[in-house]
């Protein structure tokens, strides 16, 4: 394989609001050469997000854009878009960014923004997914990587990891089991995108030119 020049290496911008464990996994994967890309900027809407500390330790530029500083969701999203577009990234990676986007932003980054959600979409969109999975008494829970659309957690699914729900599970125990799988499947999907294998075309997910099923590719460890 020919070494990629700096101009050919995909640029990533990561958005987060909290601990940033998925950011750390991505940092580690890039450092190990498993993913050929650069993280050019990490943005958080919270100044105390642990993910910013992880980025600083890795020498990655950070920026805080506090949504509370803006009078509307549209104004916040415009500032976010300016910061992202300044880096001209090929891919925007959501790593626990707890904000709902306007349709203007999701349209602007259509096919270039990935998210990981802690459920088997379309089940349990939104928050408190682990509690809801236990209450619903489902046998299988998990995580989904999907392209971001204007519908909350409703974009086309790329890859899903299946996690069994055990009889004595608490939401915290189940969440920890799901997070392990998030850390496996998110770098896989990002790697596929950076290699040009994963694309979104007319709202259909293509892998190596072939359309994936609506539920994406199942992954079971």
In this structure, how many other beta carbons lie within 10 angstroms of the beta carbon of residue 191?
A: 18
Q: Are 42 and 55 in contact (CB under 8 A)?
A: yes
Between strands 113-117 and 140-147, the pairing is antiparallel
Confirm whether 117 is a catalytic residue: yes
- The reply to whether omega before 169 is within 30° of 0 (cis) is no
Cα torsion angle, 198, 199, 200, 204, sign: negative
CA distances (Å), origin 44, targets 14, 15, 95, 169: 9, 6, 10, 31
CA distance linking residue 34 with residue 14, whole number of Å? 18
Q: What is the DSSP string of 76-108?
A: HHHHHHHHHHTT--SEEEESS---PPPHHHHHH
Between strands 217-219 and 140-147, the pairing is unpaired
Catalytic residue among 2, 108, 117, 141: 117
Question: Which residues does the annotation mark as catalytic?
Answer: 117
């Amino acid at each position: 394989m020919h070494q990629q020049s700096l101009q050919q290496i995909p640029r990533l911008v990561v958005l987060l609001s909290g601990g940033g464990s998925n950011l750390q996994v991505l940092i580690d994967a890039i450092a190990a050469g498993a993913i050929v890309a650069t993280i050019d900027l990490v943005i958080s809407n919270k100044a105390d997000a642990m993910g910013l500390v992880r980025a600083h330790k890795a020498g990655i530029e950070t920026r805080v854009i506090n949504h509370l500083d803006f009078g509307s969701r549209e104004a916040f999203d415009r500032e976010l878009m300016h910061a992202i577009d300044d880096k001209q990234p090929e891919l925007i990676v959501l790593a626990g960014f707890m904000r709902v986007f306007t349709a203007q932003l999701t349209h602007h980054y259509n096919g270039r923004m990935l998210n990981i959600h802690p459920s088997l979409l379309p089940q349990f969109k939104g928050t408190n997914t682990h509690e809801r999975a236990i209450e619903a008494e489902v046998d299988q829970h998990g995580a989904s990587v999907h392209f971001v659309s204007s519908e909350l957690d409703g974009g086309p699914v790329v890859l899903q990891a299946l996690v069994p729900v055990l009889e004595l599970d608490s939401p915290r125990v189940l969440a920890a089991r799901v997070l392990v799988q998030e850390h496996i499947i998110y770098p896989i999907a990002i790697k596929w995108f950076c290699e040009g294998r994963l694309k979104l075309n007319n709202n259909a997910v293509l892998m190596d030119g072939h359309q994936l099923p609506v539920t994406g590719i199942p992954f079971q460890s």
